[in-house]
C-alpha cells in the first residue's frame, strides 16, 4: 500500500535519513523504534508531507504522494505530531470536528454524516461528556485522547502516530493502544513511533528499527 | 547762546547714541544665529538680515541664500552653531525648546529668548527688545509707532461697518485647526472689525470639529495657504453664510506663523478688506 | 445562548444611534421630525459618512487582527506586528513632506503593500515559519518608525501636525470616493475571510496538523496575508494608524463566543465596527468644541484592557 523508496533527508549538512526503503502492507500495525535522534519523527513527517526529502520518493498505492492534492491525501493519511500547542480556547467538540475538514471542504458546513462520525469517535475514546469543555481545561491523558480522536474522525486509510503515549501513564497508554488496535483491526493501517519497546512489541505486528538513519529489519 | 546749547546737546546725544549703538564690542556687524523663522522675520524687519550667519531650514529661500543652515526648529545643531562662532543666538518661546538655549548658554554662547506671543502688544514688545539688544532700538520704536498709527486707521475704518462679521480662521486642515482668544490672530480679526467665532475658547490654537463650525455659521472664512486643501471641507461647509456668499479668502502663512509688527498690521488691513462688504 | 447574539445586535444599534445623534447637536427622536437644512447637511454629509468610515475601519482591523492571530498562532498579533502599519505610516510621512496631502491615502496603501512584499519575498527563501514572520515584522516596524521620526523631525510645523494625526489615527477627513471603494472592498474581503474560517481554525492548531487535514499552508498563509494587507492598507488610508482595535476585539469576541473562526470572524466584523463608532463619537464629543483623534481613545482603552488582563492573571490563552 505504502512504499518508501530511497529517502534521504538532512536538516543541515548531515544526513538524518540515509536511503530508507521499506514497504507497508494494508492493515499492518507497524512500529518504528530506535534510539533518540535516529530520524523516526523525521521519517513520519516525510510520509505526512510535512517535510520534503532531497532524494527518493514515496508511493501510495502506486502513486507518487507529491502528486496527490492535499485534500485527497488527507483522506488517505492522517498524522498526529508528538506535540500540539493550541493557542485558542477550542472545545473538544470543535477540535475533533476539524478532523472532518477534508470532507467538509473549505466553505462547507458540517453535515449529518460528519456529525455522526464525530459522535462515534467521541464515544470511542470516552470523551463525549467532555464535548463542551475547553481543551486546556483537560488533563494530559484526556487531551491526548482528544487529539487521537481527531485523527480517527479523519477516517483515513493510514494513520501516523508520533509517540502517542509519551505523556501518559501506563494505564492510559494501554487504554489508548487498545482502541487503536481495534481501529487497526477494522482496516486502518497504523504506523506509529514508540519509544517503549514493551508496548511496541505488544501491539505492533511488525517492527522497524531505525538507527543512525538506516533501517534494520 | 541758544544755538550753542542746542549744538552741545546734539553732540551729547550723538555721543550717547554712538556708545549705545556700539553695545556690541565688534560694533556694526554682530553675527546672529536665528533659531526660528519668527525671529528671522523680525530681524529682517530691523534691516539686519545681512547679520544673520545661521538660520533654520524652515526660513524663506531668499533669506537663506548665502547663510548656513543650522538645523530645524525642533532640533538645532548645537555643534554647528558653535562652529559658526556667533555673537548672539536668538530664539523664542514660540517653538524653540529651552534645553537647546540653555545648552548654548552653558557652552558660553550669548543667547536671548523672545517671549511667547499672546497678543499684538507681545509682538511689539518682543520686537523692541530685539531692537534693543541688536543696537537698533530707535528703528524698532519708529516702526512700532508707524504700525500703531496704521492700525488706528484700520480700526476707525472698521468701526464704520454696520455689522461685525463673524470669522472662522483655519490654520490647518487636518486636523481642522483654529484659533481661540489668546492669539494675535484673534486680535487682528478684532482690529479688522470682525469677531472670531471661537473667541469664547480660552486657548491659543486647537483642533475643532466641523459640526461646531457649521453651527456657528461664520460670515467669512479665512484660511492659511499651505498646500493640501481638502475639497470635501467646502462641501461640508456649503450651508454656511461664508461659503454661500463666497466670502472665503486665503492668507499667506508667513504673515501668520512668523509675525512682525508690520506683518500684523498688513494682516489686519487684509482682513479688513475681506470683511468690509455690506450685507444685503 | 441566543442572548449573546441579541446583545451584539443591540451593541451595534446603540453605536450607530450614538454616532449619528451625538455631536455638536443632539439629534434624538423628537428632533428628527423637525430638521432644518443645516441639520440635514450635518447628518447626511458629515455624520453618516463618518459613522460608515468608523464602522468599516473597525470591522476591517478586527478581522485582520483575528486572522493574523490565527495564522501566527499568537494572540498578540495585529497589523502592527507585521510591520504593515509601519509601512503605511512611511507612505503617509513621505506624501506629507512632499506637500501632496491629497495623495496620502494612496501612499498609505502602497506603504502597507510594501511591507507585505518584503515579508513575502523573505518567506520565499524559507517557508513562512512563525517566529521568523514575527521577528521580521518587529524589525520592519523599528526601521519604518525611525524613518518616520526622521521625516517628522525635518518637517515644517504645519506638516508635523498632520503627520502626527495620521500616525495616531483620525477619522475627520477622507474622500467619499475612497470611503465607498474601501467599504465595498473591505466588506467583500472580510466576507471571504469569514467563509475561509475553517482553514484558519486548522492553521491555528499547528502547521503540521493543518497539513495533515489537507490544508495547503503556504498558499493559505500567503493568501490570508495578502488579504489582510489590502484591508489594513485601506483602513489606514481612511483613518491613519488606529491601534489596538485589531488586538483587543478578537480577544473579547473569543472570550464571549468561542474561538471557532467562522463565527468569531462574523462577530468581530460587527463588534469591531461598533466599537470604533463609539470610540470616534467619544473622541469628537468629549472635549467639545475641541476634537480628539480617535487613536487617543483606542489607545487608552486598549491599554486599560491589557492591564486588566495582566492584573487578573487569568490568561489561559498563553499556552
pLDDT in tens, B129-177: 999 999 889 999 999 999 999 999 999 998 888 888 999 999 887 788 8
Chain-chain contact of B209 with C289 (C-beta, under 8 angstroms): yes
Q: Is C288 on the interface with B (CB under 8 A)?
A: yes
**Predicted confidence band of residue C128 (pLDDT cuts 50, 70, 90):** low
Q: Which residues of A14-29 are buried (b: 16+ CB within 10 A; e: fewer)?
A: ebbbbebebebeeebb
How does strand A15-24 pair with strand A2-10? Answer: antiparallel
Mutation test of the interface with chain C: which of A87, A100, A101, A108, choosing the one with the most C Cβ atoms within 10 A? A87
At B55 the pLDDT is 92
d(CA B248, CA B175): 19
Torsion of CA C302, C307, C308, C312, to 10 degrees: 150
- Residue B128 has a CB neighbour count (10 Å cut-off) of 16
Higher pLDDT, C316 or B174: B174
Least confident of B62-66, B105-109, C306-310: C306-310
Q: Which of C154, C165, C290 sits opposite B206 (nearest CB)?
A: C290
**Predicted confidence band of residue C19 (pLDDT cuts 50, 70, 90):** confident
At C310 the pLDDT is 74
Is the model's pLDDT at C101 over the cut of 80?
Answer: no
Sheet containing strand B88-92, edge to edge, reads: B68-69, B52-55, B32-34, B88-92, B111-114
Is the model's pLDDT at A68 over the cut of 60?
Answer: yes
C and B: touch, per 3+ CB pairs < 8 A? yes
Q: Is A109 on the interface with C (CB under 8 A)?
A: no
Q: Is B235 on the interface with C (CB under 8 A)?
A: yes
Q: Is B236 on the interface with C (CB under 8 A)?
A: yes
| B residues 150..189 contacting C (CB < 8 A) | 171-177
- Residue C143 has a CB neighbour count (10 Å cut-off) of 15
- Mean predicted confidence (pLDDT) in C12-37: 79
Q: Is C38 on the interface with B (CB under 8 A)?
A: yes
Q: How close does chain C come to B216, measured CA to CA in Å? A: 10
- Mean predicted confidence (pLDDT) in B188-193: 92
Q: Is C130 on the interface with A (CB under 8 A)?
A: no
Q: Is C147 on the interface with B (CB under 8 A)?
A: no
Mutation test of the interface with chain C: which of B76, B169, B175, B233, choosing the one with the most C Cβ atoms within 10 A? B175
C24 φ/ψ angles, rounded to the nearest 5 degrees: -70, -25
C and A: touch, per 3+ CB pairs < 8 A? yes
Q: CA of B72: how far to CAs of B89, B100, B112, C165, in Å?
A: 14, 12, 18, 20
d(CA C3, CA C242): 30
**Predicted confidence band of residue B18 (pLDDT cuts 50, 70, 90):** low
Q: Chains B, C: CB contacts under 8 A, how many? A: 103
| Angle subtended at Cα C197 by Cα C191 and Cα C203, rounded to the nearest 5 degrees | 140
CA C281 to chain centre: 17
At residue B266, the 3 state secondary structure works out as helix
Q: How close does chain C come to A39, measured CA to CA in Å? A: 17
Q: CA of A106: how far to CAs of A100, B255, B276, in Å?
A: 11, 64, 70
Is the model's pLDDT at A7 over the cut of 90?
Answer: no
CA C35 to chain centre: 34
B and A: touch, per 3+ CB pairs < 8 A? no
- pLDDT, one tens digit per residue, over C218-267 is 889 889 988 988 898 889 888 888 888 998 999 989 988 989 999 999 99
At C156 the pLDDT is 65
Contacts of C316 in chain A (CB under 8 A): 89, 134, 136
Q: Is B72 on the interface with C (CB under 8 A)?
A: yes
At C25 the pLDDT is 72
- pLDDT, one tens digit per residue, over B192-219 is 999 999 999 998 888 888 888 988 999 9
Residue in chain C closest to B227 (alpha carbons) equals C99
Cβ neighbours of residue A185 closer than 8 Å, sequence gap 6 or more: none
Q: How close does chain C come to B96, measured CA to CA in Å? A: 12
Query: Is A1:A52 a contact under the CB 8 Å cutoff?
Result: no
Cβ neighbours of residue A201 closer than 8 Å, sequence gap 6 or more: A31, A207
Query: Is B124:B133 a contact under the CB 8 Å cutoff?
Result: no
Query: Is B217:B166 a contact under the CB 8 Å cutoff?
Result: yes
Q: How close does chain B come to C276, measured CA to CA in Å? A: 18
d(CA C218, CA C230): 18
Q: Is C43 on the interface with B (CB under 8 A)?
A: no
Contacts of B224 in chain C (CB under 8 A): 158
pTM (2 decimals)? 0.83
**Predicted confidence band of residue B25 (pLDDT cuts 50, 70, 90):** very low
Chain-chain contact of C41 with B201 (C-beta, under 8 angstroms): no
- pLDDT, one tens digit per residue, over C31-41 is 677 777 777 77
Residue in chain B closest to C162 (alpha carbons) equals B174
| Angle subtended at Cα A188 by Cα A186 and Cα A190, rounded to the nearest 5 degrees | 130
Contacts of A86 in chain C (CB under 8 A): 204-205, 319
Q: Which of A84, A87, A107 sits opposite C209 (nearest CB)?
A: A84
Chain-chain contact of A136 with C74 (C-beta, under 8 angstroms): no
Amino acid at each position: 500500500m505504502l512504499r518508501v523508496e530511497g529517502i534521504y533527508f538532512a536538516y543541515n549538512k548531515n544526513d538524518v535519513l540515509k536511503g530508507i526503503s521499506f514497504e507497508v502492507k494494508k492493515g499492518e500495525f507497524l512500529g518504528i523504534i530506535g534510539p533518540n535522534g535516529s530520524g523516526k519523527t523525521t521519517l513520519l513527517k516525510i510520509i505526512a508531507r510535512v517535510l520534503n526529502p532531497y532524494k527518493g520518493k514515496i508511493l501510495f498505492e502506486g502513486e507518487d504522494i507529491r502528486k496527490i492534492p492535499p485534500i485527497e491525501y488527507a483522506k488517505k493519511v492522517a498524522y498526529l505530531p508528538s506535540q500540539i500547542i493550541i493557542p485558542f480556547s477550542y472545545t473538544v467538540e470543535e477540535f475533533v470536528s476539524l478532523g472532518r475538514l477534508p470532507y467538509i471542504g473549505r466553505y462547507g458546513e458540517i453535515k449529518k454524516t460528519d456529525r455522526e462520525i464525530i459522535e462515534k469517535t467521541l464515544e470511542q475514546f470516552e470523551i463525549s461528556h467532555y464535548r463542551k469543555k475547553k481543551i486546556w481545561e483537560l488533563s494530559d491523558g484526556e487531551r491526548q485522547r482528544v487529539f487521537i480522536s481527531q485523527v480517527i474522525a479523519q477516517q483515513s486509510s493510514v494513520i501516523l502516530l508520533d509517540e502517542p503515549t509519551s505523556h501518559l501513564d501506563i494505564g492510559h497508554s494501554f487504554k489508548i493502544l487498545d482502541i487503536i488496535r481495534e481501529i487497526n483491526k477494522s482496516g486502518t493501517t497504523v504506523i506509529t513511533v514508540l519509544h517503549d519497546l514493551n508496548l511496541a512489541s505488544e501491539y505492533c505486528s511488525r517492527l522497524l528499527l531505525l538507527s543512525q538513519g538506516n533501517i534494520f529489519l | 547762546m541758544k544755538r550753542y546749547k542746542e549744538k552741545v546737546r546734539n553732540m551729547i546725544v550723538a555721543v550717547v547714541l554712538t556708545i549705545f549703538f556700539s553695545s556690541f564690542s565688534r560694533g556694526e556687524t554682530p553675527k546672529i544665529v536665528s533659531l526660528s523663522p519668527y525671529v528671522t522675520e523680525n530681524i529682517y524687519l530691523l534691516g539686519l538680515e545681512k547679520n544673520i550667519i545661521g538660520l533654520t531650514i524652515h526660513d524663506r529661500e531668499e533669506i537663506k541664500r548665502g547663510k548656513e543652515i543650522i538645523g530645524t526648529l525642533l532640533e538645532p545643531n548645537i555643534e554647528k552653531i558653535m562652529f559658526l562662532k556667533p555673537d548672539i543666538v536668538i530664539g523664542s518661546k514660540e517653538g524653540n525648546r529651552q534645553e537647546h538655549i540653555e545648552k548654548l548658554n552653558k557652552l558660553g554662547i550669548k543667547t536671548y529668548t523672545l517671549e511667547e506671543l499672546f497678543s499684538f502688544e507681545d509682538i511689539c514688545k518682543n520686537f523692541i527688545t530685539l531692537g534693543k539688544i541688536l543696537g537698533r532700538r530707535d528703528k524698532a520704536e519708529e516702526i512700532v509707532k508707524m504700525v500703531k498709527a496704521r492700525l488706528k486707521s484700520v480700526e476707525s475704518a472698521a468701526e464704520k461697518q454696520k455689522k461685525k462679521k463673524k470669522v472662522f480662521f483655519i490654520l490647518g486642515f487636518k486636523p481642522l485647526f483654529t484659533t481661540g482668544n489668546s492669539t494675535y490672530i484673534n486680535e487682528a480679526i478684532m482690529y479688522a472689525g470682525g469677531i472670531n467665532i471661537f473667541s469664547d475658547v480660552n486657548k491659543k490654537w486647537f483642533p475643532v470639529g466641523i459640526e461646531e463650525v457649521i453651527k456657528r455659521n461664520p460670515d467669512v472664512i479665512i484660511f492659511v495657504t499651505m498646500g493640501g486643501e481638502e475639497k470635501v471641507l467646502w462641501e461640508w461647509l456649503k450651508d454656511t453664510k461664508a461659503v454661500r456668499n463666497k466670502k472665503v479668502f486665503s492668507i499667506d502663512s508667513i504673515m501668520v506663523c512668523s509675525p512682525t509688527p508690520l506683518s500684523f498690521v498688513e494682516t489686519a488691513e487684509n482682513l479688513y478688506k475681506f470683511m468690509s462688504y455690506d450685507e444685503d | 445562548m441566543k442572548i449573546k447574539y441579541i446583545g451584539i445586535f443591540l451593541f451595534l444599534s446603540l453605536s450607530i444611534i450614538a454616532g449619528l445623534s451625538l455631536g455638536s447637536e443632539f439629534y434624538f427622536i423628537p428632533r428628527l421630525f423637525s430638521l432644518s437644512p443645516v441639520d440635514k447637511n450635518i447628518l447626511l454629509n458629515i455624520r453618516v459618512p463618518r459613522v460608515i468610515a468608523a464602522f468599516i475601519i473597525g470591522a476591517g482591523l478586527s478581522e485582520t487582527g483575528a486572522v493574523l492571530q490565527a495564522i501566527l498562532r499568537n494572540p498578540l498579533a495585529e497589523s502592527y506586528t507585521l510591520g504593515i502599519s509601519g509601512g503605511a505610516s512611511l507612505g503617509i510621512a513621505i506624501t506629507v513632506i512632499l506637500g501632496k496631502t491629497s495623495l496620502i491615502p494612496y501612499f498609505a496603501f502602497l506603504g502597507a503593500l510594501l511591507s507585505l512584499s518584503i515579508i513575502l519575498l523573505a518567506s520565499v527563501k524559507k517557508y513562512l515559519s512563525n517566529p521568523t514572520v514575527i521577528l521580521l515584522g518587529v524589525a520592519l516596524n523599528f526601521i519604518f518608525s525611525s524613518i518616520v521620526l526622521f521625516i517628522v523631525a525635518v518637517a515644517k510645523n504645519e506638516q508635523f501636525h498632520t503627520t502626527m494625526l495620521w500616525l495616531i489615527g483620525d477619522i475627520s477627513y477622507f474622500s467619499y470616493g475612497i470611503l465607498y471603494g474601501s467599504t465595498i472592498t473591505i466588506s467583500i474581503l472580510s466576507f471571504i475571510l469569514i467563509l475561509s474560517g475553517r482553514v484558519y481554525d486548522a492553521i491555528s492548531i499547528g502547521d503540521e496538523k493543518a497539513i495533515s487535514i489537507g490544508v495547503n499552508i503556504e498558499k493559505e498563509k500567503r493568501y490570508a496575508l495578502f488579504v489582510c494587507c489590502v484591508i489594513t492598507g485601506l483602513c489606514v488610508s481612511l483613518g491613519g494608524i488606529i491601534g489596538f482595535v485589531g488586538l483587543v476585539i478578537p480577544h473579547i469576541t473569543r472570550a464571549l463566543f468561542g474561538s471557532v473562526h467562522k463565527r468569531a470572524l462574523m462577530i468581530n466584523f460587527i463588534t469591531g465596527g461598533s466599537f470604533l463608532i463609539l470610540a470616534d463619537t467619544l473622541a469628537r464629543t468629549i472635549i467639545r468644541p475641541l476634537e480628539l483623534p480617535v487613536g487617543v481613545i483606542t489607545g487608552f482603552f486598549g491599554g486599560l484592557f491589557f492591564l486588566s488582563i495582566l492584573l487578573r492573571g487569568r490568561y489561559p490563552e498563553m499556552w
